[in-house]
Structure 1
Amino acid sequence: MTANAHRAVPVPAAPTRGDTRRRVPRLTTTSGVMTYILIALAILLPVPYMLQLPGPVFNTLGDYQGKPMIDVSGAKTYPTDGRIDMLTVAVSGGPGRDTYASQALGALLHSKETVIPTEAYYPLETTREDVAASNAVEMSSSQDVAVAAAMGQLDKPYKVHLLVGEVVPDSPAEAKLRKGDRIISVNGKKLDSDPAAARVMSETVQSSDSVDIVVERGDEDVDVAMKPETIDGRKAIGISMKQDFEFPIDVSFNVEGIGGPSAGTMFALAIIDELTPGAMTGGKHVAGTGEIDPAGNVGPIGGARQKVAASTARGAKLFLSPADNCAEVIEAADQSKITVARIDTLDDAQNAVEKYAAGDTSDLKKCPADGADNNEKGQ
């Protein structure tokens, strides 16, 4: 044997139990920290969604910032009592404002909040200033239309003139109609002073291969003819229309900072209440929502879930819901605390409030229990 035959071969020592305990936690800790960081980053990332939350509530029969919310003059008015609440929706996110994933996840678990894609409401290029301007225009328009609806409900005559709003470039109307033209007739149908003029104008254009329009421009009448073109799937001549009202009374609204069209029905009810003897509510607390047209038809609005939640929280016992919002309202309403009445028209709304004031809600026109639409009267 050589001298090296008995030399021991060195074998690496196995790590002791203590060594293992020291090394494994370091890897686990590092992995855990990275996981928490990634989760935190995901939660704090902005997402393209808006959150709808219950907003402030305003009594249309009361004051706002020290002044009457609705001030009627030019006719005899009567003292009233109770509350006819208009409701608002607070929006988190949207153009110019970020919504974070954590907020969206929290809202999904909250029955009073709704998460909606921003693009479902606004084109990508919309700015915060665009939103504010649009809301202001819609609020102003809803005020005029509310007065018109109230005048119709009270059988008080008024005049309405249909004006050309904007003219779309490269449309049939370009160079023929101008912003501010007062539309007198279309295809021989007189429109001036007709509350339904906008609808008649739209229906005539969509059903005609050519239209002959007479407008008042300055001190003269101008006759223009054109052929509608298909724009976005429907016949059009390329104008927006604006209504200019002449009322027998003056109504001023103190609603600075509040936007959108959904208070129209509540405004109309408050005006009727001020112009008729006695308190429509009987001193009770009602709330509701709904866009309205000059003929008194009530249309659906956004944020119905938030609005019924806000009205319940403020103590209202009757909620007026547009028919097309029934499903959302019934799902969100605590019907042990608030009665939901379905309204298709301003007349429905007034009848519901007066019946509630008299203590009889047995034959109210109600949203069906499953929230489905129901067109039968008295249901």
Structure 2
Amino acid sequence: MSESAGSRPEISGKRPRRRHDGAVVSGILTYALVIVAALIPVPYLIQMPGPVVNTLDEVDGTELITISGTETYEADGELNLLTVAVAGGPERSLNASQVLRSVVAPSDTVVPTEAYYPLTTTRDDVTGQNSAEMASSQATATAAALGELGIEYDSVIAVSEVVAGSPADGQVQARDHIVSVNGEPIGGDEAAAQTVADTVRGADTVILGLQREGEHLEVELEPADIHGQQMIGVTMSQAYDFPFEVTFNVDGIGGPSAGTIFALAIIDELTPGNLTGGKAISGTGAITPEGAVMPIGGARQKVVAAADADSEYFLSPAGNCAEVLEAQGSSELTVVSIDTLSDAHAAVQDIAADRTDELPSCTGGDEQR
């Protein structure tokens, strides 16, 4: 009797051999491609919470801020400056796997490198810029602190850089103080620098009055076209003549964002008692010589750092409020919104005295009093 068309075929004692060679090879290739893709350099940098430094404490046995030439007072408590660690950037490429890990990390921020640095920027450029911004923040913090305390000081317009091959090259030197232009005395504020620039743009000849190491000089310059503008080829900045010396022991930290905390620490050392009342206060904010507190980058990472350091209070520039409130760890802190050094000074005094019910707070970017 023959087998019907719909019956099952006879099964032998040996199972048919399955071929996996193609699938195995495909899987290996896919895995290898994933590995290679993960290691490809990508043009991004990662911002992460950095070290927390108490400006009222010592660093390697030396006070972080030392004031000499006037009476000072011992300060206690915590006025913490906050930092942002950066991975990647010019000459320090990251790979895709590093970036992907930080994309999902709530404490990190991934940004295109070009958002911060032009393509031609070198690592030395970054280091130099950060150092210059830190030095500037120390000087402006000192000016703001003295202004808050009503202590007089002098300011001048100084030459910070001379462009090689420009009309000023060979006649003007870095660190010269510009005291007059075409015979007209100028002050030491930002308006004075603008006066010099405006005069240069509208004149065939400019006579600069300079102070160089105590000597008065006059130099005559003919402005030239530089990058499409009439210039003499100098970069100007404010410099200060303070009635006493303020020295900062800060290494390996750059940028302008410590200005507000520096100013508060100087105020603490120049006034009797403990400004903080022994409280743990962290904060951030660039500052102007007039005491205006400016928003900064990396606020999200600084909140995380402050919370991890067990700070009780966080002083935030009003312009950073929205970012601060969204940051991991903000619920563990009392966030205080500040627009000026006077705001920050008053807030710290209130914190020290436990008058915290009416501290100005962040509410989605606006200050609430």
Question: Separation in 2 of the partners of 1:137 and 1:265?
Answer: 17
Instruction: Confirm whether residue 33 of structure 1 aligns to residue 28 of structure 2.
Output: yes
Instruction: Confirm whether residue 202 of structure 1 aligns to residue 191 of structure 2.
Output: no
The equivalent position to 1:109 in structure 2, one of 101, 104, 107, is 104
Instruction: Confirm whether residue 85 of structure 1 aligns to residue 70 of structure 2.
Output: no
Question: Separation in 2 of the partners of 1:336 and 1:344?
Answer: 21
The 5 Å alignment of 1:290-309 reads: 290-309=285-304
Q: Provide Cα deviations, 1:177-202, integer angstroms capped at 9, x if missing partner.
A: 5434321134776434x3x2x34322
What is the TM-score of this pair, normalised by structure 1? 0.84
Aligned to 2:250: 255
Residue type at the aligned position of 1:291: A
Residue type at the aligned position of 2:210: E
Stretch of structure 1 that moved more, 214-223 or 95-104: 214-223
Aligned to 1:366: 361
Aligned to 2:177: 182
Aligned to 1:354: 349
Unaligned runs of 5+ in 1: 1-15
Q: Provide Cα deviations, 1:90-117, integer angstroms capped at 9, x if missing partner.
A: 1111122121111111111011101111
Distance 1:330 1:76, change over 3 A: same
Residue type at the aligned position of 2:250: V
Give 3-state SS (helix, strand or coil) of 1:356's partner. Answer: helix
How high is the sequence identity, in percent, across the aligned residues? Answer: 47
Question: Separation in 1 of the partners of 2:283 and 2:312?
Answer: 11
Contact 2:46/2:109 (CA < 8 Å) preserved in 1? Answer: yes
Question: Separation in 2 of the partners of 1:84 and 1:236?
Answer: 43
Question: Separation in 2 of the partners of 1:215 and 1:75?
Answer: 32
Residue type at the aligned position of 1:70: I
Aligned to 1:155: 150
Q: Provide Cα deviations, 1:72-99, integer angstroms capped at 9, x if missing partner.
A: 1211111222100001111111122121
Question: Separation in 1 of the partners of 2:142 and 2:117?
Answer: 29
Contact 2:136/2:256 (CA < 8 Å) preserved in 1? Answer: yes
Give 3-state SS (helix, strand or coil) of 1:75's partner. Answer: coil
Contact 2:45/2:113 (CA < 8 Å) preserved in 1? Answer: yes
**CA shift at 1:63, angstroms?**
0.9
Q: Provide Cα deviations, 1:139-175, integer angstroms capped at 9, x if missing partner.
A: 2222122111111111111122211222335767567
Contact 1:60/1:69 (CA < 8 Å) preserved in 2? Answer: yes
The equivalent position to 1:22 in structure 2, one of 18, 25, 29, is 18
Contact 2:167/2:221 (CA < 8 Å) preserved in 1? Answer: no
Question: Separation in 2 of the partners of 1:103 and 1:253?
Answer: 35
Instruction: Confirm whether residue 142 of structure 1 aligns to residue 137 of structure 2.
Output: yes
Distance 1:230 1:320, change over 3 A: farther
Distance 1:191 1:132, change over 3 A: same
Residue type at the aligned position of 2:192: V
Aligned residue pairs, count: 353
Stretch of structure 1 that moved more, 238-247 or 97-106: 238-247
RMSD: 2.7
Residue type at the aligned position of 1:370: G
Stretch of structure 1 that moved more, 250-259 or 301-310: 250-259
Instruction: Confirm whether residue 124 of structure 1 aligns to residue 119 of structure 2.
Output: yes
Aligned to 2:340: 345
Stretch of structure 1 that moved more, 222-231 or 64-73: 222-231
Give 3-state SS (helix, strand or coil) of 1:273's partner. Answer: helix
**CA shift at 1:51, angstroms?**
0.5
Instruction: Confirm whether residue 51 of structure 1 aligns to residue 43 of structure 2.
Output: no
Contact 2:47/2:86 (CA < 8 Å) preserved in 1? Answer: yes
Give 3-state SS (helix, strand or coil) of 1:110's partner. Answer: coil
Unaligned runs of 5+ in 2: 1-11
Contact 1:214/1:222 (CA < 8 Å) preserved in 2? Answer: yes
Residue type at the aligned position of 1:328: E
Residue type at the aligned position of 2:50: G
Question: Separation in 1 of the partners of 2:75 and 2:222?
Answer: 52
**CA shift at 1:259, angstroms?**
1.8
